[in-house]
Amino acid sequence: MASSATRRRGQPRTKPGEERRRDLLDAGLAVFTRRGVAAATLDDVVREAGVAKGTFYLYFPSKEHLLLALQREFEVNLVARIDAAVAAAGDDWADRLDAWVVAVFTDFPPGRAQHDVLYHHPVDTHDTADDEPAHRDLVDSLGDVIDGGIAAGTFHVADPELTTVLLCGAMHRAFDRIWHRDEMNDTPRLVRATKDLFHAAVGLS
C-alpha cells in the first residue's frame, strides 16, 4: 500500500471530516496539476490521498464536484490576497490600481499550474447543481478599485462595468499565452505593460 501519502501504522483510520475533505482537496489539486484534469482518474486521487475509493464519495458527490470545489477555493483565496494588497496600498487610487496589478502578478506565478486547472476546464454548470452562493471573483475585485477611483473623480471611464471585464480578461489570456509558450517570462516588463494599459484605460495621464 505504498503511496506518497501512506498512512502510518497504528494511526486511527477515521479523521475529523474537515481534515479528510482537506486531504482529498489537496490530493485532487496535486493530481490534476500533475496529470492534467482530463487524464486524472479517481484512482490517482484516492491513492494520493491515502484513502479508499468509497471514501471519496462520502465527501464529494462526483469527480466534477471536486474540481468545482477546487476552483472555487482557488479563486476565493486569490481574491482575498489581492484585496488585502489593495487595502494596504493606501488611499491614492492610482496606487491602488497599481497594487492590484502587482498583487495579481506576484500571486499567480506560484499558482500557474492551478490556474490552468481552474480556468481551463469546462465545468458543466448544467447537472452540477449550484448549491453554494456565487463568490467574489477577480472581476468583482478589480471592479471595486475602478469604481472607487471613478467615485473619487480620479478615473474616467465611459463604461466601467465592461471595461473592468475587458481588463480582467486581458490579464488572463496574457498569462495563458505567455506561460504556455515559455517565452517572455519577464515579469517586470509584463507588470509595466499591464500598468500602462490599465492607466490608459481609466484615463490616467
Catalog residues that contact DNA under the rule CB under 7 A: 7, 12-17, 20, 39-43, 51-58, 62-64
Is 168 in contact with 97 (CB distance < 8 Å)?
A: no
In whole angstroms, how close is the CB of 66 to DNA at the nearest point?
9
* CB neighbourhood size of 103 (10 A): 20
DSSP assignment of 10-36 equals T--S---HHHHHHHHHHHHHHHHHHH-
Residues between 106 and 165 with contacts to a copy of itself, criterion CB under 8 A: 116, 120-122, 124, 139, 158-159, 162-163, 165
CA atoms within 13 A on the CB side of 95: 7
Is 31 in contact with 62 (CB distance < 8 Å)?
A: no
> Residue 41 binds which one of DNA, a copy of itself, none, with CB within 5 to 8 A depending on kind?
DNA
In whole angstroms, how close is the CB of 91 to a copy of itself at the nearest point?
24
In whole angstroms, how close is the CB of 176 to DNA at the nearest point?
24
- The correct pick among 150, 178, 179, 187 for binding a copy of itself (CB under 8 A) is 178
107/136 Cα distance (integer angstroms): 17
Q: Which residues bind a copy of itself (CB under 8 A)?
A: 36-38, 116, 120-122, 124, 139, 158-159, 162-163, 165-174, 176-178, 184, 189-190, 192-194, 196-197, 200-201, 203
